[in-house]
Amino acid sequence: MKIREIRDLSNEELLQKISDFKDELFNLRFQIVTGQLKNFSRVKEVKKSIARAYTVLRERELAGNSAQENREE
């Protein structure tokens, strides 16, 4: 999933996507162990998507804190 698509999601949708990605990663790991997985690059893609989603959540959290600090001053 591209960063632009991730940024368009709300926080609730983002948390749901992270959960979906983690489930997919779990299943991919089982497929590796059982020898069923043919596209190993998908594991890397899913890991990067999880990281991107967490990054966007953190950016939003920091932006919210900055806005609160500005209001206090």
Average pLDDT, the chain: 92
Q: What is the mean pLDDT of residues 44-49?
A: 98
| Structural domains of the chain, ranges and CATH numbers in brackets | 3-72 (1.10.287.310)
- Of 57, 71, 73, the C-alpha closest to 14 is 57
pLDDT score, position 56: 96
Considering the chain, what percentage of its residues have pLDDT values greater than 90?
85
Q: What is the mean pLDDT of residues 27-35?
A: 97
- Of 6, 18, 21, the C-alpha closest to 59 is 6
